[in-house]
Amino acid sequence: MSTLSRADLTAPLSAAAHNLHYQVWPKRLPRAISPPVTSLWHNLAVSALRFPDKPALVFFDRVLSYTEVLQQAERLAATLYRLGVRKGDRVVLNMQNCPQWVIAHFAILRANAVVVPVNPMNRAEELKHYITDPDAKVAITAADLAPDLAKANAQLAPEDRLKHLIVTHYSDAFDGNDQSMTARNAGSGSDMPEAWRDWLATRHAPPALEGGAVMSWTDALANRGDSADGLPAHTVTPQDLAVLPYTSGTTGLPKGCMHTHASLMHNAVASCLWGNSTFENVVLSVVPMFHITGMVSVMHASIYGGSTLVIMPRWDRELAGRLISRWRVTHWTNIPTMVIDLLASPNFASFNLSSLVYIGGGGAAMPQAVAQRLWEQYGLRFAEGYGLTETAAPSHSNPPDATKQQCLGVPFISTEARVIDPLTLEEMPQGEQGEIIMCGPQNFQGYWKRPEATAAAFIELDGKRFFRSGDLGHVDEQGYFFITDRLKRMINASGFKVWPAEVEVLMFKHPAIQEACIISTRDAYRGETVKAVVVLRAEAKGRVTEDDIISWCKENMAAYKYPRVVQFVEALPKSGAGKVMWRSLQEAEGSKT
């Protein structure tokens, strides 16, 4: 362990101050790594070569080997190529966690194209942006989500519309000619609750695609001779664009984050090393795969490491407990509210969590009492982490064997982080609050088609390009980072980031709303939830209720995003320049007991 003087601890620009965290750095790990200089596709290809018959994906009772996943991805990639997908084209991927999500993701990469992952909770009004902004012409979606995607597409100008829509039912993951019956019988043992069997068995009629064609998943994977028949040469490099995940912000519409194969490869490899991974890992995949954490720290890390992914479409505490018990899950990355919910299950005593060797996550702070229970009952230290879409998931994480509770952790492998004054950009002394910035190979290249936003997101210090997180925090004497406030305007609802400006843009489409301001309000379970302070148009007063507004928002917004509380006011507070003073509304809400 290095010796640091008091001068080192207070000198904001010294190398020692930037290296405080190496006091607690795992001795088994290098401080920086040189990941493979190959595309993400090669991770699947190599794991299939090494472990052809090993379970890659487990979906209830369906087990797909690495060979099966590889072959299906190749077949779908060939179909994408026949549909006109070429190098660098963006392909929308919209479904809940399932084997088809993994197969489609890698098929898009195999076709030299770019994955545009979309939150499956988005509705038609929101989906239009995910078609037009990335200039997508092909989308792959689940059957229950296809109507909203088709509705969004029909409302676009002809030149902006999708040309092809590939639709899968979740039951397509199962074997058998009678997909519906197979899905209904799947999980007839102890794993699957009855409601899940009914959900999987439900078949949805495919919608028509205005100006385009719809293809079933079965047809898209139809075996035309060799699985690689019709495949283009795989020509992408680590520097090519791989994924375009969208993140919302203060300007309203979501922005695409340009991630290369290299930026995602780094954090996939680093996550394996950080979590003590081996080829024998069994990983519970319940964090949504469209989200950067579920995609990189869970899915890509597992495929790179030759692990087995046990997939949950969405959170269900009873199902999670059964899957962990049956499949002997070793690694579980999650949102802390999931752990809280699982521990509260009336059936918790029947679950066997003894196989877990690593548990961690982020998106919200883990309550100290819950973390203490995990340690006392299972010997598990919950390792909290921190990252953004722009940083390909973790930029900070707690060392698994040296965790601090309610703490972001230390800068991740190959990463340098600092705390600066957000106005002067000068580095703050240890212990003092400022904006957290980070520099590392996992940082994105910039925002898609938004050069001004890209320029504003980065600063250069000491010849290095740092991303400005917009989060305020400080670093302690051991190099652990803590978040204290948000520079950006954002609501954290059970780990889902809700950006008020985006919700406000959608609410202004309601004919009864004259003005709206979105703030956060306290929620016993979600921590925070969304509240809308609304000024109605004169003709709507007395005719439109708060519940009417909530119902409309529920129909037009993702479930995590729509306001749970609506308050009507005569006017919104405004500055001398006419800007809505959202902060005063937020402070008033926060002062309520």
Q: Which two tokens stand for residue 541?
A: 């007063």
Report residue 32 CA to chain centroid gap: 24
> Coil, strand or helix: which one is 351?
coil
By C-alpha distance, which of 332, 335, 339, 334 is closest to 317? Answer: 339
Q: Which two tokens stand for residue 154?
A: 């029909």
- For 498-512, b where at least 16 C-beta lie within 10 A, e where not — what string? bbbbbbbbbbeebeb
> Coil, strand or helix: which one is 174?
coil
Q: Are residues 447 and 388 in the same domain?
A: yes
Number of Cβ atoms within 10 Å of the Cβ of 492: 17
Q: Are residues 478 and 566 in the same domain?
A: no
Tell me whether residue 241 is in a domain: yes
Q: Which two tokens stand for residue 279?
A: 């080829």
Instruction: Domain count for the chain, please give it.
Output: 3
Q: Are residues 552 and 567 in the same domain?
A: yes
Q: Are residues 25 and 56 in the same domain?
A: no
CA-CA-CA-CA dihedral for 307, 308, 311, 317, to nearest 10 = -90
Amino acid 523: pLDDT = 86
Tell me whether residue 176 is in a domain: no
Query: Given 444, 470, 486, which residue is the final one in a domain?
Result: 486
Q: Are residues 378 and 445 in the same domain?
A: yes
Q: Which two tokens stand for residue 529?
A: 């939830």
Q: Are residues 133 and 159 in the same domain?
A: yes
Amino acid 24: pLDDT = 94
Q: Are residues 146 and 17 in the same domain?
A: no
Q: Are residues 450 and 475 in the same domain?
A: yes
Q: Are residues 476 and 527 in the same domain?
A: no
Q: Are residues 472 and 533 in the same domain?
A: no
Amino acid 364: pLDDT = 72
Q: Are residues 48 and 145 in the same domain?
A: yes
Residues of the chain with pLDDT under 50: 1-13, 176-181, 187-190, 225-226
Q: Which domain holds residue 374?
A: 6-31+361-486
Tell me whether residue 199 is in a domain: no
Amino acid 278: pLDDT = 94
| Residue 345 half-sphere exposure toward CB, CA atoms < 13 A | 18
Q: Are residues 285 and 157 in the same domain?
A: yes
Tell me whether residue 385 is in a domain: yes
pLDDT tens per residue across span 23-40: 999 999 999 999 999 999
Amino acid 198: pLDDT = 83
First to last CA, the chain: 47
Instruction: Look up the CATH number of the domain holding residue 586.
Output: 3.30.300.30
